[in-house]
Amino acid sequence: MHASYYDNPLAFFCNSGQKHTSMTKLIRLSLLVFAITNISLAQPSQAPEPVLPYSPSLDMSAMDKTIDPCVDFYQYSCGGWQKKNPIPPDQVAWGVYGKLYQDNLAFLRGILEQSAAAKGQRDVVTQEIGDFYSACMDENAVEKLGLAPLKAELAQITQLKSVRELAPLVARLQLDLGGSILFQSGSLQDPDNSEQQIAGMTQGGIGLPDRDYYTKDDPKSREIRERYLQHVQKVFELLGDKPELAKQNAENVMRMETTLATASMTRVERRDPYKRKNKIKLADLEQMVPGFDWPAYFRTLKTPPFEIINVAPPVFFKELDARLKAEPLSNWKNYLRFHVANGYSPYLSAAFVQESFDFYTRYLRGAKELQPRWRRCVQFTDRDLGEALGQAYVRKVFSPQLKASTLDMVRRIEDAMALRISQLDWMSPETKQQALAKLHGIRNKIGYPEKWRDYSSVKIARNDFLGDVQRATEFERHRNLNKIGRPVDHGEWGMSPPTVNAYYSGQMNDINFPAGVLQPPLYDAKMDDAPNYGNTGGTIGHELTHGFDDQGAKFDAKGNLRDWWTKEDKQKFEERTKCVADQYAQYVVVDDIHINSRLTLGEDVADLGGEILAYIAWKDATKDKDLKPVDGLTPEQRFFIGFAQWDCSNEREENLRVRALTDPHSPSKYRINGVVVNMPEFAQAFACKAGQPMVNPPEKVCKVW
């Protein structure tokens, strides 16, 4: 409901998780067997048993009761939290999700230190995650190696003889580094047949977080480009170039990236699955971009044979071809040298780590300090070996009871959605039938995957951190590419089990709640239903609603890109979502920057729909209970405060600016206040009157679902 996009930029994923801001094959061992082998094989280590700190899903001390809830409900619910929780120097924002995420990292650190310290014959998971983490933590070894781990790749770049030879090298670099060297490629679900995986490619190749950074002409954007240029120059100097030459190289990189950015889709355009769809024959790709040796490229990637590939947007790849013809070989060499060094910076010696932090995290997002090394190492382990670390994690935090109670909540929210759909006064019976079929087709994935990904083919060495990252990246790239031409695996997860986030996938038509997001204070087994439904219930409703938001509504029950709406219903739907877009467009992020409500529309609609569903489900789940006030708050008030407190947060202005351009989620305050203004149940719970800020006038009340 929150965070970042699903890792695969090619996927026709509707919306990713994080109700807020900020990856299977072969059963190796069942959980139970794993638990036993772990105890019998690995000797108890010296590292202490990790504990996840507890905070309740409704925290009275997080409130600011001097504020009138009808004037600013977010401030009323979260004012105390904001005062008690200043942003730590190494963070760009600090909120309930972020804090749980950090507590979770400390907990995972405990697991990793135990694994690293385990003696004797170790099971494969303990060995993988323990050695990966140890190699990352060995800062002296990393420092001593300096640029040595990049020598082979840099030499390959230097030895290039012609622009034609770029293709196999780009493929090699994409395998080792992942991400986006020049462009991005991989497998994706066929938008017309969601049971099938096909090949795909999309835009990429830039070093700033979004194409808009290269095209906008306001003073702040110009300043950011100037600073980026200095950053690129600095990276060239770290690679050994003299300042004068480094400056010239940086200018060339900037110019090349600008042409690629200009030919790229905006984030708003990328939200439209039809704009991301462009299936062509492989032979047509070769005709469209004749300057790139595609057979050599795909041979190096070892992709399974295929004939059809999704290439979007085509204009980007045409521009790539123009660049291949226009730029001399030396410019391409420098472009690759920069992207290799820049991409690997977080795993290199201190000078590279610091430069990367200074530009991307300090300057762009406002953090004051680099995160301690252990925290970065836990994050790298979760990213590269997430389902190995995840096995150890869920054994400690995700009991069968927790799975049963959260699954029960999911089913109740789905029932509420079925009820809402059948009651909608604006939707025709035909479309309702399709909507209900879609709802009933949703798969619920809770906690962790049924089959664990097997990393045993990845060589993890305790003294070769960068090599470990490269081999794990290559494993993931091949895993992704090998799906081309195969049926879709519905058991696959797009997030690791410890992830504090959740997502809905339109093509899979499933909702995914990793174990990490079902912990207090988000889901609190010690607390009663009111705040839990307000909080996690709302998140579940949020993810479900994504199946029916302006993007999700374009996919049918099977996850195929097919319009299942009648024309009239679609029009009425768009009128209703426009109400939400108009409301959020009024909200100011920072200075004169308003929310780009065409970017945030899907999330804003999901926030509103989710909370309405949670309220209905909560009322139904507790209809036979005699609910009493607690701490002077009525059950209804506690439901809404539980809702608001999922998103108590503080955020740096710099980060708000980046998010205003890149994040499909509105700022925290509006994700709460923007919802309650549209809910008469809220006005009633707090006796708010017409005309007060937290009550939309009747003609402006938005209701979609």
Residues that bind Zn ion (CB under 5 A): 1, 15, 603, 606
Q: Which is nearer to Zn ion, 15 or 264 (CB)?
A: 15
Question: Which residue lies nearer to Zn ion by CB, 1 or 336?
Answer: 1
Q: What is the phi-psi region of residue 563: left when phi exceeds 0, alpha when psi lies from -120 to 50, beta otherwise?
A: beta
The smaller minimum CB distance to Zn ion, of residues 186 and 547, is found at 547
Which residue, 79 or 667, has its beta carbon nearer to Zn ion?
667
Show the tokens assigned to 283.
């032979």
Shortest gap between Cβ of 403 and Zn ion (angstroms)? 22
DSSP 556-616: -TTS-B---S-HHHHHHHHHHHHHHHHHHHT-EEETTEEP-TTTSHHHHHHHHHHHHHHHH
Query: Could you tell me the two tokens for 374?
Result: 């252990």
Cα Rg of the chain, angstroms:
25
Cβ at position 440, least distance to Zn ion in Å? 21
CB of 543 to Zn ion, least distance (A): 7
Separation CA 18–CA 666 (nearest Å): 12
Q: Which is nearer to Zn ion, 15 or 303 (CB)?
A: 15
The nearest distance, CB 1 to Zn ion, in angstroms, is 5
> Pick from 536, 515, 508, 512: which is nearest to 441 by CA?
508
Q: How far is the CB of 5 from Zn ion (least distance, A)?
A: 10
Cβ closest to Zn ion, residue 15 vs residue 174: 15
Closest residue by beta carbon to Zn ion: 15
Q: Give the whole-angstrom CA distance, residue 274 versus residue 332.
A: 32
Three-state secondary structure readout of 243-290:
HHHHHHHHHHHHHHHHHHHHCCCCHHHHCCCCCCCCEEEHHHHHHHCC
> Across-strand partners of 503?
512
Instruction: Supply angle C-alpha 533, 538, 541, rounded to 5.
Output: 115
Return d(Cα 92, Cα 650) in angstroms, integer: 9
Residue 692 CA to residue 492 CA, distance in Å, equals 47
CB of 118 to Zn ion, least distance (A): 38
Checking 29-36 for CB contacts under 8 A at 24+ apart, the result is: 29/123, 29/452, 31/391, 31/394, 31/395, 34/123, 34/125, 34/391, 34/395, 35/395
Q: How far is the CB of 583 from Zn ion (least distance, A)?
A: 17
| Least distance CB 503 / Zn ion (angstroms) | 7
Give the shortest CB-19-to-Zn ion separation in angstroms. 6
User: Taking Cα atoms as reference points, which of 397, 450, 523 lies closest to residue 108?
Assistant: 397
Report d(CA 544, CA 540) in Å as an integer: 6
In the complex with Zn ion, which residue's Cβ is closer, 551 or 583? Answer: 551
Residue carrying the six token digits 């009322």: 619
Minimum Å distance from CB 14 to Zn ion?
8
